[in-house]
Chain A
Amino acid sequence: MKWLESVFMALKSIGSNKVRSALTMLGIIIGVSSVITMVSLVQGSTREVTDQFKSMGTNNITVSIMTWGSTRSVDPEDMVELADDNIDIIEGLAPLVNSGGTVKVGRDNISTRVQGTNKAYGVINNHNVTQGRFINVLDTERRLKVALIGSYVANELFNGKNPLGETIKIDGQPFTVVGLLKEKAGGAQHSDDDVIIIPYTTALRLTRAESVDTYFVQAKNAETVDVAIEKLESFLLETLKDPNFFSVYNQAEFLENLKEVQGTLTLMLGGIAGISLLVGGIGIMNIMLVSVTERTKEIGIRKALGAKRRNILQQFLIESVVVSSIGGILGILSGIGIAKLIGNFMKINASPSLFIIMLSFSFSAVIGVFFGLYPANKASKLNPIQALRVE
């Protein structure tokens, strides 16, 4: 008996008992659609985060140095020099001295974040300047008291007036505003716009910090990231003698971690949804067992007419696979729909990948085989004469 014919036969048998078949499928439909929904939502939201990070540049490397407990220190100028010596690998290196400060203009004062850095920081951190200029080499060399201000600070302190050339007081020290940073985050408080940027050399003095503990480095391109990390690490090891006092890591690494988190999350939610799929499978087995009992007479007749064990096995197996596959397809469709709906609501793009669609479809088919096997085997083993005698 041909394969396709068995499928037709199965469809016919399923069609002749529509309500029951629909109820049987329901388990699989719910299972598959929850797998699809959960996985696409997780993937959609992590894709969102990943994209945000990517827009910040995956070639970025962060160097952290423990200044506490170490007798040795790194001279920021050596770091800058290292970058300058390797311009074919490193696009730029920016020391970062972070602190909070009180800024005063006339009688107005606010507290904000003060970042000390150098020329390279603008490029690395996508800081554009709308008016004036960024920090330059001269500023850092001479520890000039110049500052760039974010849009929040500008609005708070200058209220629409042109801030260029004005003097502001940071922790009591007068600074000249030389530039206005381009708005990045809608000008909100505590955002990227609530910031003042000054030369790192000036900042070290201002905060009385011993040394710089953070550097932002940008590799020339994705290929040179690893070499740049190596260069930085070997230099730092040479200087600090102890790998415990520094760490060098890359955005790409962070993305890797994020991917791992996404993987675990997908697996977990997918697993939970998978359990409901399993329950659906047990439903199929249950119905198939009932169906075998109900159709004992039919099996007896078929056997009397020459059906072999494998014909009966095939018939019942194909029937359960067809039921679960149809359930799988319906589940995929409703899963895509639900994911889109929730995705719209959450403002993320939650369309499932082809891979997960194929996976959940094949999984539902496999469930059909697995849970159909026992009833089908039971049916095929029936003794024809005993089966015929059943009324």
Chain B
Amino acid sequence: MIKIEDMKKIYKMGSNEVHALDGISLHVKEEEFVSIVGPSGSGKSTLMNMIGCLDKPTSGKYSIDGKEVSKMKDNELADIRNNKIGFVFQSFNLLPKLTAVENVELPLVYMGVGRSERYKMAVDALKQVGLSNRLDHKPNELSGGQQQRVAIARALSSKPPLILADEPTGALDTKSGDEIMNMIKELHSSGKTIVLITHELYIAEQSKRIITLRDGKILEDRGVV
């Protein structure tokens, strides 16, 4: 699913350079459940932005689902994000003026799905996360846990094979966090490939494989027993 070879990301800040990613090589197979851990500033989010085609690496190769990404144009990258990847962010990133359904519909809008079908798919996705009774609520009328569930429904609506979650429980209390984790585990058993970023070990241990980053390098890559 994901093949990364010697990926580097260097931020230039005036005269000094920050090596946010310093030669990462990583393979993730289909239907794997990988978590990425590491101290703050170790490059976790940077790596996820690369995997999610939101940013371009300074050097290195990256292919997703057999498609070489490093040479793609902006429009093709947008298509990859649209078709292959569902994002779940720490801060939810819902559009505040749209209702839950409308938020979930967004990826489908850009996919070009027609109005009525789009609505049906969005409702289905919201049902899947247990929010079928909150369709027309705006984000500020929902609890944090509920907002994150809307975000998960949005990540699911276009049925992408890969779900990327950057600290999805980071802004939630333990109980809502556990609910979200259960949902992510369910997604994994339903056949999605999942890459989860966290700095909490007990969350990482719920996945099948833990990759530890430090200073932009992979420090450890181990399976969970």
| Interfacial residues, chain A to chain B (CB-CB below 8 A) | 1, 5, 12-13, 16, 297-298, 300-309, 311, 383-385, 388
Interface centre among A13, A297, A304, A309 (most CB of B within 10 A): A304
Say whether A303 contacts B97, CB under 8 Å.
no
State the CA gap A307–B112 with chains docked (Å): 11
Q: What distance in Å separates the Cβ of B103 from its nearest Cβ neighbour in chain A? A: 9
B residues within 8 A CB of A309? 74-75, 78
Contact of A308 with B49 at beta-carbon distance under 8 Å, contacts A1-B110, A13-B97, A384-B54 already known: no
One of A13, A305, A385, A388 near B107 (C-beta < 8 A): A305
B154 within 8 A of A: yes
CB distance from B89 to the nearest CB of A (A): 8
A304 near B79: Cβ-Cβ < 8 Å: no
Interface size class, chain B: 20 to 34
Knowing A5-B115, A385-B49, A388-B54, say if A305 contacts B97 (CB, 8 Å): no
**A309→B79 CA distance, assembly (Å):** 11
A258 to B112, CA, bound (A): 57
Q: How far is the CB of B119 from chain A (nearest CB, A)?
A: 12
Q: Report B-chain residues with C-beta under 8 Å of the C-beta of A383.
A: 55
Do A1 and B95 touch (CB < 8 A)?
Answer: no
B81 touches A304 (CB 8 A): yes
A13: B residues at CB distance < 8 A? 97
Q: Please classify the interface of chain A as helix (H, G, I), strand (E, B), loop, or mixed, using the class held by over half of its residues.
A: helix
Q: How far is the CA of A307 from the CA of B74 in the complex (A)?
A: 10
Question: Is B82 among interface residues, defined by CB-CB distance under 8 A?
Answer: yes
How far does the Cβ of B153 sit from chain A's closest Cβ, in whole Å?
13
Q: Is the CB of B110 within 8 A of A306?
A: yes
Cβ of A12: which chain B residues have Cβ within 8 Å of it? Answer: 97
**Residues on B with beta carbons closer than 8 Å to the beta carbon of A388:** 54, 89, 93
Q: Which residues of B contact A (CB under 8 A)?
A: 49, 52, 54-55, 74-75, 78-79, 81-83, 87, 89, 93-95, 97, 106-107, 109-112, 115, 154, 158
Residues in chain A near residue B94, CB distance under 8 A: 301
Question: Could you pull out 30 A-B pairs where Cβ atoms are within 8 angstroms?
Answer: A1-B109, A13-B97, A297-B93, A298-B95, A301-B94, A301-B95, A301-B106, A303-B54, A303-B78, A304-B54, A304-B81, A304-B87, A304-B93, A305-B81, A305-B110, A306-B78, A306-B82, A306-B107, A306-B110, A306-B111, A306-B158, A307-B78, A307-B110, A308-B74, A308-B78, A308-B79, A383-B55, A385-B54, A385-B55, A388-B93
Distance in Å: Cβ of A175 to nearest Cβ of chain B: 91
In the complex, A16→B107 CA distance in Å? Answer: 22
B93 touches A301 (CB 8 A): yes
Flag if B115 contacts A305 (CB, 8 Å): no
Q: How far is the CB of A309 from chain B (nearest CB, A)?
A: 6
Apart from the given pairs A302-B106, A304-B81, A305-B107, 17 other A-B contacts in the complex at a CB distance below 8 Å: A5-B115, A16-B97, A304-B93, A305-B82, A306-B78, A306-B82, A306-B107, A306-B110, A306-B158, A307-B110, A308-B78, A308-B110, A309-B78, A385-B49, A385-B54, A385-B55, A388-B89
In the bound complex, residues from chain A placing their C-beta under 8 Å from that of B78 are 303, 306-309
* Residues of B with C-beta under 8 A to A16: 97
Q: Determine the chain A residues whose CB is within 8 A of the CB of B74 once the complex forms.
A: 308-309
Task: Check B75 against A306 for contact (C-beta < 8 Å).
Answer: no
Q: How far is the CA of A50 from the CA of B192 in the complex (A)?
A: 80
B218 to chain A, nearest CB (A): 22
Say yes or no: B55 contacts A308, CB within 8 Å: no
Given known contacts A1-B109, A301-B93, A388-B93, is B55 in contact with A306 (CB within 8 Å)? no
